[in-house]
Amino acid sequence: MGAALLLTAAWGCRKESDALTAYDYDESLVFEAAKTSFAAKFDIIWNGMNQYYALWDYEAEQGLDWDAVYDTYYPKFQALDQRGEDQTVTDEELSALLEEVLGSFHDGHFNIDVLNHKTGTTVNCHPSLKSFNSRDDWKAAVSTPLNLGYYANPANGEVETDADGNPIAEVCKTSVSFLLSRNLQTPGMGGYWMMARIEELEALPSLSDYEAFELQNLNDLKLELRTLNGKSDKQALAIYNQLQAKYSFLGIPGFDYIDPAFAKNGLEIKYALLKGNIAYLGFNHFNLGAYLDDNESEEEFDMSNPLTRQLVVGARAIWQGWFDGIQTLHKAGKLGGVIIDVRGNTGGSVTDSRFVAGALAPGRYIHFGYQRFKRGTGRYEYSPLMEARLGNMSQPHEDVTDVPIAVLTNCASVSMAESTALSVKTLPKGKVIGKRSFGAICALCTNDLSSYNYSGYIGVEGVTPVFGCVPAMASFTLDKRIIESEGVTPDIEVDLDVAQFQATGRDTQLDRALQYIRDGQ
């Protein structure tokens, strides 16, 4: 009977079931038919969302009739299956159909991967990206990587200096793109050394057997390095490390192994002590625990590798400089304020709150809103609202909520970056400055909890013919509003002057945060 219920829920039925269907792993009873049928894929999407999604009441308020969606689109997916063997289904056609079905959903994280079994390509539908691309600041957000160069320049007088007159400002980058660039494009190292050596050998009137062997292998490596172009970070890093092992005998300076963990845990982190003792921290992802917590570092990285350890310790030192500076200055009554820059921050681990807003506030947590879970297989079966909390640092630290704290956001501030902004809004002198955030606040969690959260991922990414990234809960602000796809509205809205930033490095959004901290306006 259990198998019959499972099949009923997963194939050709839009009636709500009282059985929790096993969408959370590669269950053959659920996913087998979808390997060769578009209608079966649609059934998984429709029933999986019906069972897992936590914003149905909000979607209904916006006019979405999920039952009508089934009645309208199931026949269209059936029609794709009824095409002859000589008729393909293009990826563009499948993508357009998925956009019709799912394009109106509001949750910022939600997206669906569907395998087009006719072409072998996976097609993705991510509804919130459409609204993101329509915003007035998205080009500025994705095309202007922010830096502190203008402010660290002594001529501009915006950064405090140490006893030796050096600016108190540091940056550490461990992203795959940066590490590959460093290893391959640093003068005198990597690719530069390789090209110079090729020219040197080719200029010789004659070559020894080893020199001819070396030249051949250097030219082979040069050609093989081109295969990195157009690859994802994970793919490029895997290819690079294979080539590094294959050609290590050439002894190319700086052509070093890169820990694959940086594909997942790459980080850019910046610290500066700005004039007036304003402690600035900027970073692009909430994976700080992998760098700052000894146990997590050992889990995530190969800390026995000298280069890996050097990078992890370097990132840790930057955060430590920010935190220690705040502690010392506040104890002395000299801390002017704090700036947390999460523009372009893609979110990540909620436990990182203890290193950011939670390192500034007292108590065990910051109550920044409300949340609820699915608590049944029925579309509208939810838990009561409960407090949404971000944990504070458990170690003793200064309560610095008596000084101005500003969070900088833009439309590329996502998920945990947005929760951090909402948290700072609750503090006595906390302000959000910049542009409205992305609108992906409903949290994700692993499928380990799906059996009692009644929500989670649909399928297994890269394995099942349908994979759905579905948040585990619905999130609300303190005034109990849902702001998915809307984002966190700044207290002080200001555009980034892109032309000025590109010409001089001066940052109008950072300037506005400094103004707020310095004069309270």
Segment 351-372 mean pLDDT: 97
pLDDT reported for residue 422:
98
Please give the backbone phi and psi of residue 25, each rounded to the nearest 5 degrees, phi first: -155, 180
For residues 184 and 306, membership in a common domain is answered with: no
Euclidean distance between CA atoms 34 and 115, whole angstroms:
9
In the block, residue with structure tokens 């009636």: 15
Segment 270-287 mean pLDDT: 97
pLDDT reported for residue 28:
81
Instruction: HSE, CB side, 13 Å, CA atoms: give it for residue 452.
Output: 2
Segment 462-484 mean pLDDT: 93
For residues 328 and 450, membership in a common domain is answered with: no
For residues 462 and 508, membership in a common domain is answered with: no
Residue 206 inside a domain? The answer is yes
pLDDT reported for residue 2:
37
Q: What is the sign, positive or negative, of the torsion defined by CA atoms of 379, 384, 385, 388?
A: negative
Euclidean distance between CA atoms 121 and 116, whole angstroms:
5
pLDDT reported for residue 452:
64
Please tell me the pTM assigned to this model.
Answer: 0.92
DSSP-derived letter for residue 472 is S
For residues 340 and 428, membership in a common domain is answered with: yes
Does 59 have pLDDT greater than 90?
yes
For residues 369 and 454, membership in a common domain is answered with: yes
Q: Are 521 and 466 in contact (CB under 8 A)?
A: no
Residue 293 inside a domain? The answer is yes
Q: What is the 3-state secondary structure (H, E, C) of 437-450?
A: CCCCCCCCCCHHHH
Q: Are 1 and 9 in contact (CB under 8 A)?
A: no
Segment 60-73 mean pLDDT: 95
Domain count, the chain: 3
% of the chain exceeding 70 in pLDDT: 95
Collapse the DSSP code of 270 into the 3-class scheme (helix H, G, I; strand E, B; otherwise coil) and give the result: strand
| CB burial of residue 43 (10 Å; 0-12, 13-18, 19+) | buried
CA angle 500, 503, 504 (to 5 degrees): 80
For residues 165 and 74, membership in a common domain is answered with: no
Residue 416 inside a domain? The answer is yes
pLDDT reported for residue 10:
40
Segment 500-517 mean pLDDT: 96
pLDDT reported for residue 374:
86
For residues 208 and 302, membership in a common domain is answered with: no
Domain with 185 in it = 179-250
Collapse the DSSP code of 49 into the 3-class scheme (helix H, G, I; strand E, B; otherwise coil) and give the result: helix
Which range among 12-16, 19-23, 399-403 has the greatest average pLDDT? 399-403
Does 6 have pLDDT greater than 50?
no
Residue type, 190: G
pLDDT reported for residue 116:
97
Does 274 have pLDDT greater than 50?
yes
Segment 479-490 mean pLDDT: 95
Does 73 have pLDDT greater than 80?
yes
Does 5 have pLDDT greater than 50?
no
Residue 257 inside a domain? The answer is no
| CATH at residue 328 | 3.90.226.10
Give the closest residue to 307 by CA, choosing from 260, 274, 273: 260
Q: Residue 9: pLDDT band by 50, 70, 90 thresholds?
A: very low
Give the closest residue to 40 by CA, choosing from 104, 127, 117: 117
Segment 435-445 mean pLDDT: 91
pLDDT reported for residue 154:
86
- Mean pLDDT, all residues of the chain: 92
Order the strands of the 430-434 sheet from edge to edge: 169-173, 268-274, 278-283, 337-341, 405-409, 430-434, 492-493
pLDDT reported for residue 133:
86
pLDDT reported for residue 269:
97
Q: Residue 388: pLDDT band by 50, 70, 90 thresholds?
A: very high
pLDDT reported for residue 498:
94
Tens digit of each residue's pLDDT (9 = 90 or more) over 131-146: 888 898 998 898 888 8
Q: Residue 7: pLDDT band by 50, 70, 90 thresholds?
A: very low
Residue 133 inside a domain? The answer is no
Q: Residue 27: pLDDT band by 50, 70, 90 thresholds?
A: confident
Does 23 have pLDDT greater than 90?
no
pLDDT reported for residue 13:
54
Q: Are 422 and 477 in contact (CB under 8 A)?
A: yes
For residues 300 and 347, membership in a common domain is answered with: yes
User: DSSP letters of 187-198?
Assistant: TTSHHHHHHHHH
Residue 297 inside a domain? The answer is yes
pLDDT reported for residue 47:
92
Tens digit of each residue's pLDDT (9 = 90 or more) over 34-43: 999 999 999 9
Segment 261-280 mean pLDDT: 96
For residues 147 and 106, membership in a common domain is answered with: no
For residues 6 and 114, membership in a common domain is answered with: yes
- Other CB atoms within a 10 A radius of the CB of residue 232 amount to 10
For residues 42 and 156, membership in a common domain is answered with: no
Residue 255 inside a domain? The answer is no
Residue 167 inside a domain? The answer is yes
Tens digit of each residue's pLDDT (9 = 90 or more) over 215-234: 999 999 999 999 999 999 99
pLDDT reported for residue 322:
98
For residues 14 and 115, membership in a common domain is answered with: yes
pLDDT reported for residue 26:
77
